[in-house]
Structure 1
Amino acid sequence: MNIDLHTHGKLAKKTDFSMDYFLSMTREAKENDLQAVALTEHFNTRNFFDMLDQLDREFEYNGDHYVVSGLKVFSGMEVDVAEVGHILVIGNRADIRDLRGQLEPYSGKDSFIPFKELLDRTDNYDVLRIGAHPMRESTPLTHHDPLQLQRLDALDVNAKDLFQYGFGMEGEVRRFADQLGLPACAGSDSHQPLQFGSVYNQLQADCDTAAQIRDEIRAGRYSLEISQCLNVKVKAAQMMKELLKKSMVVA
């Protein structure tokens, strides 16, 4: 199963969820030979629950994923922590809703949840936890306590970082992950359809739950794939994203 473990269903945090835009994302994901994606929208995005409500109304839900024209869309979110850094939490939609409700007091920039507290809370759920873009200058994870980082399931080799810092970033993330005894997995960090296929994970098994994905990654039964067209895909996506945001402002 080819899966992208870090994607977004909205153009930006401040925009409303658009089903048409979301469907354009899923179509492009399928056209890039993905069988699954994890929808890890920012936890403090505008109207987070409205997005889930719309998905619940429109699509069948099996295991931990929506079925969107044959594409598995796993439910999740991307959470900011107080000490700086982003954590991807992927799991059953009921658990994601519950955890998001708990995070409401922590949704402002000056009140993000402490990293250890997020880990403690998510310990109570059967979720997949990934340290997002751990070497990114603006949101690194390298300064966190290694004992806390080791509670994660994996670290994210992020397409945006490969574009910004060069393909050597994969090696840097892998070395950091190795120090912690964690695997490294791929996430495109797509906010725009053109970015799909830049990176993905090729799992040996076809998974229906976050726990199954977690087990495959922990056991090393997958490969991390990076497209030779990554730079073109990410650059084109970023340019299109900026154009779309400007058109929304004008409108």
Structure 2
Amino acid sequence: MYAVDLHAHTRFFHGHERAADYYDPVGVRLLAGAAGLRGLDGVATTNHDYYRAFDFGGGRPGGSGRGKSGPYAATIPGIEVTTTHGHVLVVGPDPPTRTEPGDLSPEGAVELAHDRGCAAIVAHPYRNSTVREVDADFDAIEINGKHPRTEEWVRKLADRHDLPLVGGSDAHYPVEVGRAYTEIEADDLTPESVVAAIRDGRVRPRVNRSPFNRALRTLYRRVHEEKGYLQRPEWLDTPGVGKPPK
């Protein structure tokens, strides 16, 4: 059994490509180091619309090798694709190195993922996304570490589509890594074994509900509410159907 954060970023800023080129090698060390300190075996580097392989001499560069080594958690290749309907995580041995935001449909992102031996995961389905409404051959749906209050909704969504659930922190700062993660049943921790476990349903999401993480989530909820990013399931708008989770 391995504990892997399937949704994390190596930098906390956007839109500054030149700065990112210099910062990413530092960011991945901080991310993988924090993940190791949290007891995680691996962390997927799912930066927005680009993938970059990292080799920092400890742990498993790019997801090769066996388990965690040294002070760093293993890194698993990935990318967070901005589709026409929202974000899709592509995780596995050969993610695309770059995608153009809004260029791919969710169906196109899934096809791209599968062509490259990767898993396609619906990211944060109730935040700034309508990917959940798309009929595509996804491999899993994410319980997102920023908004686990939507967990009940996401579980119902996964049941409706008969898909496994995974967990990811959506960390943009190293301190956030591991607030949600995935338990993976596998004999070895490689990108290929992660993909196989997701597709076979040998995965289980976990959420860290410490006071620190609860405070962070309250802050993110306020920010995302102000931006109008947060959404509700359609069935909650039907009288008598139930109440949203607290």
Could you tell me how far 1:209 is from its partner in structure 2? Answer: 2.7
One of 110, 127, 132 as aligned partner of 1:142: 132
Q: What is the number of residues matched between the two proteins?
A: 210
2:42–2:74 Cα contact (<8 Å) kept = yes
2:78–2:89 Cα contact (<8 Å) kept = yes
1:246 aligns with none
2:119 aligns with 128
Flag the structure with higher helix content: 1
In the aligned structure 1, how far is the partner of 2:104 from the partner of 2:162? 25
In the aligned structure 1, how far is the partner of 2:32 from the partner of 2:72? 10
Determine if the alignment matches structure 1 residue 161 to structure 2 residue 151: no
1:194–1:236 Cα contact (<8 Å) kept = no
1:6 aligns with 7
What amino acid is aligned across from residue 36 of structure 2 in structure 1? K
Does the residue aligned with 2:192 lie in a helix, a strand or coil?
Answer: helix
In the aligned structure 2, how far is the partner of 1:70 from the partner of 1:8? 15
1:174–1:183 Cα contact (<8 Å) kept = no
1:100 aligns with 97
Q: 1:61 to 1:112 in 2, by over 3 A?
A: farther
Q: 1:68 to 1:156 in 2, by over 3 A?
A: farther
Does the residue aligned with 1:160 lie in a helix, a strand or coil?
Answer: coil
1:88–1:132 Cα contact (<8 Å) kept = yes
Q: Which runs of no fewer than 5 residues in structure 2 stay unpaired?
A: 222-246
One of 24, 28, 31 as aligned partner of 1:22: 28
2:231 aligns with none
**TM-score, normalization by structure 1:** 0.73
Could you tell me how far 1:234 is from its partner in structure 2? Answer: 4.3
What amino acid is aligned across from residue 28 of structure 1 in structure 2? A
Could you tell me how far 1:64 is from its partner in structure 2? Answer: 5.4
Could you tell me how far 1:4 is from its partner in structure 2? Answer: 0.4
In the aligned structure 2, how far is the partner of 1:218 from the partner of 1:208? 15
1:133–1:139 Cα contact (<8 Å) kept = yes
What amino acid is aligned across from residue 206 of structure 2 in structure 1? E
Q: Which runs of no fewer than 5 residues in structure 1 stay unpaired?
A: 239-251
What amino acid is aligned across from residue 3 of structure 1 in structure 2? V
Q: 1:220 to 1:119 in 2, by over 3 A?
A: closer
1:178 aligns with 159
Does the residue aligned with 2:13 lie in a helix, a strand or coil?
Answer: coil
2:82–2:104 Cα contact (<8 Å) kept = yes
**TM-score, normalization by structure 2:** 0.74
Which string of whole-angstrom CA distances, capped at 9 and with x for unpartnered residues, describes residues 43-81 of structure 1? 1xxxx46xx26x24x447969516774411011100011
In the aligned structure 1, how far is the partner of 2:186 from the partner of 2:112? 29
2:88–2:109 Cα contact (<8 Å) kept = no
2:230 aligns with none
2:203 aligns with 222
In the aligned structure 2, how far is the partner of 1:177 from the partner of 1:224? 12
Could you tell me how far 1:233 is from its partner in structure 2? Answer: 4.7
Could you tell me how far 1:217 is from its partner in structure 2? Answer: 3.0
Q: 1:27 to 1:161 in 2, by over 3 A?
A: same
1:64–1:91 Cα contact (<8 Å) kept = no
Instruction: Give the superposed CA RMSD.
Output: 2.8
What amino acid is aligned across from residue 158 of structure 1 in structure 2? N
1:62–1:208 Cα contact (<8 Å) kept = no
1:76 aligns with 78
Once the two structures are aligned, what percentage of the paired residues are identical? 24
1:153–1:183 Cα contact (<8 Å) kept = yes
Could you tell me how far 1:206 is from its partner in structure 2? Answer: 4.8
Q: 1:140 to 1:221 in 2, by over 3 A?
A: same
Q: 1:125 to 1:68 in 2, by over 3 A?
A: farther
In the aligned structure 1, how far is the partner of 2:188 from the partner of 2:118? 14
